[in-house]
Each structure stands twice: as C-alpha cells, then as structure tokens.
C-alpha cells in the first residue's frame, strides 16, 4: 500500500514534521529502543484500528478503507459515520459555508446546551455578520434572522446588543463603523476550533487524534530514550529497564502532553500503576495498594499518617 504524506497543518505526519526530524533523529538506529514482540497478534490489530480511526478523523476515508481491506479489519459503518459528517461540516466551515454546521448544531441543541457550548449562538452570530456585510439590501433579512438569537438571550445578552447596535451603521458600512471588529477574519478559524472541540466532546472523542498525540510524544521522547538505552548498555545494567509500562527515568514531554494527575505512593515512593493503584483509606489518606497490603496487621490497618485504625477492606480505589 502506498499513499502520499498528508500535508494538513499541525499533523505530525506532515512533510514538515518529517524533515525537521531528519537532522537530529532519523539517522540514528531507533530499533534499539523498540520492544521485541510489541506488535504481535492483538496489538497489531489495535494499532491498525487506531490508524483507521486517525484516517477517518482526517477525512481520508479512502485510505482508511484500503487499510481495512489490507489488514482484514472490519469496521462497523456506525463507527465511520460521525467522522464523515464532522469532516463534511468542517470542510464547509473552512470555506465559510455555515449551513451544515448550523443544521447540526440545531439538531444537537439540547446536548450542546447541556455541555455549556456556545457553538450554535456563535454560528448564528457569524451568519448575521455575513448579512451585515451585504449592507442595507440585507437589512430586512438581518432583522428577521435576529429572531434566532432568542434562545441565547440570557447567556449572550451583551453580544446580541452589539450585533443589534451595528444595524445602525448598515448604510455607511460596518467596515467604516465602530463595529468593524465584527468583521475580524480570525473568528472563522475560531469557529472551526469551537466546532471540532464541541462536536468531539458530544461524541465522546478526544479533540486530537490519539495517534497524532502518541506520535508527537514519541518524537519528543526518542532522543532521550536512545540516550538511556546507550547508557544502560554501556554500564551493563540492562535490568533497570525491564518493565514494559514504565521508563527508568522521567522524560519531559512538555505541558501540552499533560493529561491527568499522577500519584506516587508516599510509603513505597513509587508511581502507582494499573496493577498497583492508589487506595483511599477511611480517614482520607491515600497510599498504594502494595503499601496497604504490606502494612495491615491481622484484620486491622493503622494509617501511617494519622493513627486511625481501620479495616483494609474499607479502602477504596482512586481513579485519576
């Protein structure tokens, strides 16, 4: 299978990202930091699924389908549809066509309101502004259209006042009025971002493709990983890096890659993992499960921070 590199802005697969990598990392032997057998059987299928989802997100449906066929994946039609629709709406928004996004926002109004989204209002606002740009010829239509602001009067009173005030300047043109800021071109880029963010939230998807995020994180971490591996081999202490879900040192990926809090057990001084999760004691203090198991005496556990005695069975697992 062969396909050209997508050139979408910000995508780590873009040509630019590859060329910036070349100088520093691409000549190194990166195979040394790979994990043997990592992409066998089930993981291979999961990787293919993640790639297919990424292509759906990017609107590259034909590439996704080709990959499905070649890897023998069967993707349910219902999994694909939301991405197809989102991409269609986003493509229209990029060329300043608001209708598909407006129809989508109106039909999902209740759910959007529930998540405090101002998407529908902002779409109506942009439509209204596009009418203002037509001058007095659109005056009647603009007044008519203002009815669409009604459901948003409570939360967007100030914005609506500004929009209505701008009508006074229709004759001389908004561009020659104190309301010229309404024509700011940046709001078209903003509406694409707002739509993507709110639509993804509605569908329970992350805004960025998980594959893009993992790939970017990998690019940042790779030089550090190659260095660690070299040091480990030099000093012949290969046992340091034997756990698959943990690195021997912390690799700083920058704030952009901070997603959730981590918890280090104050007793064992280790970061908690799926196998050793944080546990909240009855008194409210939190320690890891391994520490809890090591500390209880008979059927009683004494909290290491306050002297409260309790039953270890009452501790509850904490999820971040």
Q: Of the two residues 16 and 285, which places its CB atom closer to Zn ion in the complex?
A: 285
Q: With contact defined as beta carbons under 8 Å apart, do 279 and 312 qualify?
A: no
Figure out which of the listed residues 285, 295, 296, 302 binds Zn ion, where binding follows CB under 5 A: 285
Q: Of the two residues 202 and 303, which places its CB atom closer to Zn ion in the complex?
A: 303
Decide if residue 318 touches Zn ion (CB under 5 A): no
Site string for Zn ion, 233-272 (x = CB under 5 A): ----------------------------------------
Q: Of the two residues 145 and 296, which places its CB atom closer to Zn ion in the complex?
A: 296
Q: How far apart are CA 290 and CA 237, in angstroms?
A: 26
HSE-CB at 261 with a 13 A cutoff on CA atoms is 7
Q: Of the two residues 80 and 285, which places its CB atom closer to Zn ion in the complex?
A: 285
Classify residue 280 by its DSSP letter: E
Q: How far apart are CA 198 and CA 93, in angstroms?
A: 14
Q: How far apart are CA 101 and CA 107, in angstroms?
A: 10
Q: How far apart are CA 248 and CA 242, in angstroms?
A: 9
Q: Of the two residues 127 and 305, which places its CB atom closer to Zn ion in the complex?
A: 305
Q: Of the two residues 72 and 307, which places its CB atom closer to Zn ion in the complex?
A: 307
Figure out which of the listed residues 191, 225, 303, 315 binds Zn ion, where binding follows CB under 5 A: 303
Stretch that binds Zn ion, among 74-82, 84-92, 171-179, 281-289 (CB under 5 A): 281-289
Sequence-separated contacts (24+) of 210-218 with Cβ below 8 Å: 210/50, 210/53, 210/54, 211/50, 211/51, 211/53, 211/54, 212/11, 212/12, 212/13, 212/54, 213/257, 215/12, 215/13, 216/12, 216/257, 217/253, 217/257
Decide if residue 306 touches Zn ion (CB under 5 A): yes
Task: Report in angstroms how near the CB of residue 306 gets to Zn ion at its nearest.
Answer: 4
Q: How far apart are CA 258 and CA 277, in angstroms?
A: 19
Task: Report in angstroms how near the CB of residue 310 gets to Zn ion at its nearest.
Answer: 8
Q: With contact defined as beta carbons under 8 Å apart, do 124 and 135 qualify?
A: no
Decide if residue 314 touches Zn ion (CB under 5 A): no
| Both structure tokens of 258 | 């901070």
Q: How far apart are CA 305 and CA 295, in angstroms?
A: 12
Decide if residue 305 touches Zn ion (CB under 5 A): yes
Q: Of the two residues 229 and 289, which places its CB atom closer to Zn ion in the complex?
A: 289
One-character DSSP codes across 262-273: --B-TTT--B--
Decide if residue 46 touches Zn ion (CB under 5 A): no
Decide if residue 174 touches Zn ion (CB under 5 A): no
Task: Report in angstroms how near the CB of residue 289 gets to Zn ion at its nearest.
Answer: 16
Stretch that binds Zn ion, among 97-105, 167-175, 228-236, 282-290 (CB under 5 A): 282-290
Q: Of the two residues 51 and 303, which places its CB atom closer to Zn ion in the complex?
A: 303
Q: With contact defined as beta carbons under 8 Å apart, do 279 and 287 qualify?
A: yes
Q: Say how far residue 318 (Cα) sits from the centre of its chain.
A: 23
Total chain residues near Zn ion (CB under 5 A): 5
Task: Report in angstroms how near the CB of residue 261 gets to Zn ion at its nearest.
Answer: 20
Decide if residue 283 touches Zn ion (CB under 5 A): yes
Residues within the interface to Zn ion (CB under 5 A):
283, 285, 303, 305-306
């Amino acid at each position: 299978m062969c396909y050209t590199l997508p050139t979408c802005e910000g995508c780590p697969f873009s040509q630019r990202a590859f060329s910036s990598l070349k100088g520093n990392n691409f000549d190194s032997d990166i195979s040394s930091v790979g994990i043997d057998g990592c992409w066998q059987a089930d993981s291979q299928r999961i990787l293919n699924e993640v790639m297919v989802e990424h292509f759906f997100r990017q609107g590259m449906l034909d590439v996704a389908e080709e990959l499905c066929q070649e890897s023998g994946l069967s993707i349910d039609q219902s999994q694909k549809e939301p991405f197809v629709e989102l991409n269609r709406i986003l493509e229209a928004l990029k060329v300043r066509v608001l209708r598909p996004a407006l129809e989508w926002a109106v039909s999902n109004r209740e759910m959007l309101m529930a998540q405090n989204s101002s998407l529908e209002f902002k779409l109506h606002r942009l439509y209204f502004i596009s009418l203002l740009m037509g001058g007095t010829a659109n005056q009647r239509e603009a007044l008519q259209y203002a009815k669409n602001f009604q459901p948003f009067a409570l939360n967007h009173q100030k914005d609506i006042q500004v929009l209505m005030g701008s009508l006074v300047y229709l004759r001389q043109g908004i561009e020659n009025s104190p309301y010229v800021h309404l024509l700011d071109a940046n709001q078209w880029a903003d509406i694409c971002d707002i739509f993507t963010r709110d639509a993804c939230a509605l569908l329970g998807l992350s805004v960025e493709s998980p594959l893009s995020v993992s790939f970017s994180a990998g690019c940042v971490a790779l030089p550090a990983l190659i260095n660690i591996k070299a040091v480990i081999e030099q000093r012949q202490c290969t046992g340091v890096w034997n756990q698959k879900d943990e690195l021997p040192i912390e690799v700083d990926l920058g704030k952009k890659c901070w997603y959730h809090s981590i918890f280090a057990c104050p007793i064992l001084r280790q970061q908690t993992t799926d196998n050793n999760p944080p546990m909240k004691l009855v008194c409210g203090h939190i320690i890891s499960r391994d520490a809890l198991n090591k500390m209880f005496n008979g059927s009683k556990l004494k909290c290491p921070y306050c002297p409260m005695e309790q039953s270890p069975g009452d501790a509850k697992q904490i999820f971040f």
